[in-house]
Structure formats: C-alpha cells, structure tokens
Amino acid sequence: MTTQPTIGVLAVQGDVREHLRALEDAGARAVPVRRTVELEAVDGLVLPGGESTTMDKLVRAFDLHQPLRARIAEGMPAYGSCAGMIMLADRIADARPDQQTLGGIDMTVRRNAFGRQVDSFEEDLHIHAIGGAPMRAVFIRAPWVEQVGDAVDVLAHVEEGPAAGRIVAVRQGALLATSFHPEVTGDHRFHQLFVEIVRGNA
C-alpha cells in the first residue's frame, strides 16, 4: 500500500493536535475521532496521552468503548502513548475498581509508575526497531510495563537511573505502545513506524 493511509487520533482528551501534526509529517492523512462513524472511516488509530481513568470514562460516555474494542480485536492497527499505552493493556497492576481498558496487548502496566508530575523526566533511548540516533523520550506521569506475554516484542527499556531496565515501548502485531510522548519532541520516527504498520496492514 503506497497510498496515504487515514489514521485517526482519539480526540476525547489529551495531546490530540500534536499527534495529528506528527502523523501528517509522517505521511498519513490524520483526522480526529470522537464518534463511531469517524472510527469506522480510519485505517488505524492513535490513543494519545492524557489521564487514563478520565479517558476511560469519556470513551464510555461517547459510546466508543465497545466499537473501539471490536475494531482493535478485528486487527485495526493502534498506537498508544502514555495513557494510550494503559488503554491498550490487557491488565493494569493498580487499576481503580471501575477502570476498564480496550485491551489488545498482552501486558501488565502500572499507572504513574515513575511518580507524580514533578518526577517527569527525559532520557535518550536506543530503539532498534526504528534505528538511527537515540530517540529523546519525554516521560510525564508515565506508566511502565511490568510483564509481557510471549507475543509481545519489547522495543525499549529505560537505560539509566533507578528505573533502569523498565520496559517503556512494546509492539504486538499491529499494536504499538510507548510510555513516553514522541509527539512532543519533533522526532516523528515512532509515528513513521506506525504509519508503515498501518500501510502493511491494509
């Protein structure tokens, strides 16, 4: 598929504009998604950062929860950053009693694992799946991945500090997730990888 894929960004909360811009720069036609009819029209979907419990409630308020789960289960490519990673996890280590996820990636994540907003940080990560120079990763109240199933490819770990070795980027088939926010740095190689996944899935 060499044509331009249409990729949606779930637009109920979070850094939607930054993802739309990054996807456009990576060669996709990017559109916000708030309704089922908009979801049905996209080839792939980005679940942006935000606050995972709020996103869960808003997705259900917009009657998007079951349509999202169904499309992901049917094989629609999806990429989740930060809160979006939590939304794509099959399991949350410290979920609130009523919190639900969309699922799809056989992993257990821990919310706010690196600490509160004041503990946000940046680090250079070596990510073999995208190659080239290290990627500057911005972590903002970020989750990390505590456990993955056999079908999950680990793409990146924290490389320094007390959290060294923690998993912060994964892929399972057409599903991609990062603890960090590549949309805010101007380095759009993760979005380019996702665009290629969407093209390959068509």
Q: Is 160 among the catalytic positions?
A: no
Which residue among 18, 19, 82, 188 is the active-site one?
82
Which residue among 18, 19, 123, 183 is the active-site one?
183
Q: Is 122 among the catalytic positions?
A: no
Alpha-carbon gap, residue 88 to 83, rounded angstroms = 9
Which residue among 18, 123, 181, 191 is the active-site one?
181
Give 53-79 as a DSSP string: HHHHHHHHHTT-HHHHHHHHHTT--EE
Q: Is 126 among the catalytic positions?
A: no
Residue reference for tokens 């080839």 = 43
For residue 136, list its beta bridge partners: 124
Question: What does DSSP say about strands 175-178 and 89-92: parallel, antiparallel, or unpaired?
Answer: unpaired
**Which strand (E) or helix (H) includes residue 92?**
strand 89-92
Report, as residue numbers or ranges, the catalytic residues. Answer: 82, 181, 183
